[in-house]
Amino acid sequence: NEAARLITTNYSRTSSITATKESLQLPSLEKRRILALLCHFHQLYHSASSLAASHIKPAHRIFPRLDHPFKVLPLFARTNLLRQSPLFLAIFHWNRLPEDIATIHNHDLFVSHLKRFLLSEP
């Protein structure tokens, strides 16, 4: 709510915050989080870091009709804490990306295609 007021510079307590948010047409917080998570994972996936080498492994089975060639082996999560970790969630969403987006190496191009894809979903 405060962020919407800051963006519009409308600090009046009597103005409708719902109408302000609708006028901004911002994507939902969930979509913005997924976008940030996948953008960071894309950079990590295409880097030569030790974290990527130790935690990001190619999937054992890739079904060409269902999966993209950059599919990653999902982590095994024994606890809910690990299941909600950023790396686990990033791999979960990464494996569900369409092939035409997941195979883009250029980060800026990836981000623009990903935004278009995420924001077009209902």
pTM recorded for the entire structure: 0.81
The token duo for 95 is: 């494996």
Q: What is the reported pLDDT for 70?
A: 94
Residues 6+ apart with CB under 8 A from 56: 44, 45, 72, 91
Residues 6+ apart with CB under 8 A from 107: 39, 42, 43, 46
Q: What is the reported pLDDT for 82?
A: 81
Whole-angstrom Cα distance, residue 71 to residue 94?
7
Nearest to 101 by CA among 42, 60, 54, 45: 42
Q: What is the reported pLDDT for 77?
A: 81
pLDDT in tens, the chain (122 residues): 888 888 899 888 888 988 988 888 888 889 999 999 999 999 999 988 888 888 889 899 989 888 999 999 988 888 888 888 899 999 999 999 999 999 999 999 999 999 999 988 76
Amino acid at 44: L
The token duo for 19 is: 């109408």
